[in-house]
A and B are shown apart, each in its own frame.
Chain A
Amino acid sequence: MNRAPLPTYDRPIADVKAPVSPSAERHKGEIRIADVVKIYGSETAKIRAVDNCTFDVPAGKITVVVGPSGCGKTTLLNAIAGFHSITSGAIYLDDTLLCGPGRLSAEPGPDRIVVFQNGALFPWKTIIENVAFGPMMQGRLSKKQAFEKGRAMLAEAGLRDLESNYPGEISSGMRRRVEITRALMNDPKVLLLDEPYRALDSLTKSVMHEALLETFDRNQVTIFFITHDLEEAIFLGHRVVIMTTRPCRPKKILTVDIPHPRDYSVLTTKRFREYLDETVAAVHEEAIKAFAAGERER
């Protein structure tokens, strides 16, 4: 078994412009993924989805994970969220063990909230009921308090006048923003975003990116973001983790040294293009491997 060398962090993590108090940074959810392995399937037909995967998701930063589709990125996210077990290794959140030896599956909870690829606002609840759901279920707020907080947070996110609509009545871009607001209602340490903008057209996407960055600048929550859109990755991320194709492990970790808050003018800068070239080269190699492997499997 040839083990990949552990990634080395040759560049410092970019400084964030917005001031963050050291204590806030300490407690806003650093995830450490240590030597995680995930094997699917039975004894006879094993699929090694994740192998010897080790990297950090620094607190209060946006970490974007990119890789060919089906490479095991979502498996990793599901392990952090607590939807799936891991086979070995460990995942920590701020020094507490989420899953690891003796306890292979994490418990899902409001400190790590997932925003799903296809959106998971409850279609049978109005926007405000959706947003108030978390604190009410946890018994942290009464219905009245939760609704009040929800209204305030919706207004802050520029989503006024939607509260009594049902999710089916608003645009898909709006739904994603509501879903992020629903997550932030619980003061999570980490947001786990699984290709949340995949289904959106590119114009809506650019609006969503700026909205997400604005939300991030306001909340400084740790963000773990999965995508296979490289421009999106570099535009959003403080750190971009490029994954190998199955089994999934970091191939290259890139620190994007463009200061936040960013806006769309960044896209045309020389620096951005350089980062993009660097990423494209790495990802393309993996995409070819993934394609070849896919051909063989069939």
Chain B
Amino acid sequence: MKELESTLAAGEIGASLGEAPAGRPAGDADRAGRVEVALYRLRQWLSSPRPYLMLLGFGLFFAFWYLTVEVWKLTRFAQMPGPTTVISEWLSPDPTYGLSIYSAEYYQHIWVSWRRVSIAFLLATVTGVPLGLFLGWSQRFKEYVFPVFELLRPIPPLAWVPLAIIMFQGSETPIVFLTFLASFYATTLNTMLGVESIDVSFVRAAYCLGARRRQVFWHVVVPGAMPFIFTGLQISVGVAWFSLVAGEMVSGQYGLGYLINTSYTMVQYPTMVIGMITLGVVGYATSAAVRIFGNYLMQWRARELAMGGEK
């Protein structure tokens, strides 16, 4: 019960809906408590103005879209499909342009894009995090590597497209490579900054307590950089979707970027907008998943912030 109370006190921060309660992973006794916490949070959330403001925001956005396109019929928006057209097309079992939530092809596009982003994001994480850790940890390593890194970083993924097509076989690998690039920079840079942000007192304290260099790395550097690493990963997954669409517009058979581009050339504008909205939703979901996973791994941080961020 004491456990529950402390988690409840900690409940304010991650109060957005659907996030895992910030309790420690514990035994069965705790599980009932967690459900209770989740319900408590839901009630808190519903009794705050936040969900209603959110609904109001969406309402205003759709109203603006509806008015400009379908009611006022402004010339600037003449070619643009209105919200009713898009939504009825999206939800229709028999869509005019052949794509809605009832067609298997729609899920094929989502799946292919999602798979590319996942592969690229994972590759960027397993290479970028260690590279960033070493860049932050070893001054000499940084002197070798960082200038090259900084020179390559400003080159936008689109500029890599021709080289990617020349270097890699087929259409799949170049797209994954392009998606990987932007992710990799974001992850590496944030991880490095994370290591550099660690208070030197923590490193000194560890040496004082008899830790060796390797132990300091695992017990101080890695966890100390964790908040920055996860900020980096959230940015990384976002930019992965950016550069994915760039890649898919250039080559490929499936994918949301490809869908948007082909609908455009084939003048299927409602389908194009469906693709865009889907990108938004899927992109948000992946980013939220990374954030939730981060909060799960860094309970110390969630709980510290819950105490008013005092340090």
Contacts and interface: CB of A to CB of B under 8 A. Distances in A.
Interface of A: 81-83, 108-110, 112-114, 116, 118-120, 122-126, 133-134, 137-138, 164-169, 172, 182-183, 186
Contacts of A109: 207-208, 210
A124 B205 CA distance: 14
Contact of B208 (A113, A118, A166, A168): A113
A34 B84 CA distance: 86
A108 B215 CA distance: 14
A118 B43 CA distance: 39
Contacts of A172: 310
A126 B223 CA distance: 13
Given A124-B298, A166-B303, A166-B304, A81 B208 contact: yes
A123 B311 contact: yes
Interface in B206-244: 206-212, 215, 219-220, 223-224, 226
Contacts of B226: 124
Task: Identify the 9 closest CB pairs spanning chains A and B, nearest first.
Answer: A168-B304, A134-B209, A120-B205, A138-B210, A124-B223, A120-B201, A108-B207, A137-B211, A110-B210
A83 B203 CA distance: 10
A71 to B, nearest CB: 21
Contact of B210 (A123, A134, A164): A134
B210 A120 contact: no
Given A122-B219, A166-B304, 18 more contacts: A82-B207, A112-B208, A114-B205, A118-B201, A120-B202, A123-B301, A123-B311, A126-B300, A137-B210, A137-B212, A137-B219, A168-B301, A168-B305, A168-B311, A169-B303, A172-B310, A182-B209, A183-B209
Contact of A124 (B206, B224, B310): B224
A160 B300 CA distance: 19
A116 B300 contact: no
A81 B210 CA distance: 12
Given A83-B204, A118-B201, A133-B219, A113 B304 contact: no
B115 interface: no
Nearest to B226: A124
A168 B303 contact: yes
A137 B209 CA distance: 8
Interface of B: 6, 24, 199, 201-202, 204-212, 215, 219-220, 223-224, 226, 298-301, 303-305, 307, 310-311
B206 to A, nearest CB: 7
Given A120-B201, A122-B223, A168-B310, A114 B208 contact: yes
23 contacts: A81-B204, A108-B204, A108-B208, A112-B208, A113-B208, A114-B205, A116-B204, A120-B201, A120-B204, A120-B205, A122-B206, A122-B219, A122-B223, A125-B219, A125-B300, A137-B210, A137-B219, A138-B209, A168-B303, A168-B307, A169-B6, A169-B303, A183-B208
Contacts of A112: 208
* Of B207, B299, B303, most A-chain CB atoms within 10 Å: B207
Contacts of A123: 300-301, 304, 311
Nearest to B205: A120
A135 to B, nearest CB: 8
A134 B215 CA distance: 11
Contacts of A183: 208-209
A169 B202 contact: no
Contacts of A166: 299-300, 303-304
Contacts of B301: 123-124, 168
Contact of A113 (B209, B219, B303): B209
Contacts of B219: 122, 125, 133, 137
B204 A168 contact: no
B307 A169 contact: yes
A264 B133 CA distance: 49
A168 B209 contact: no
Nearest to A129: B219
Contacts of B303: 166, 168-169
Contacts of A110: 208-210
Contacts of B202: 120, 122
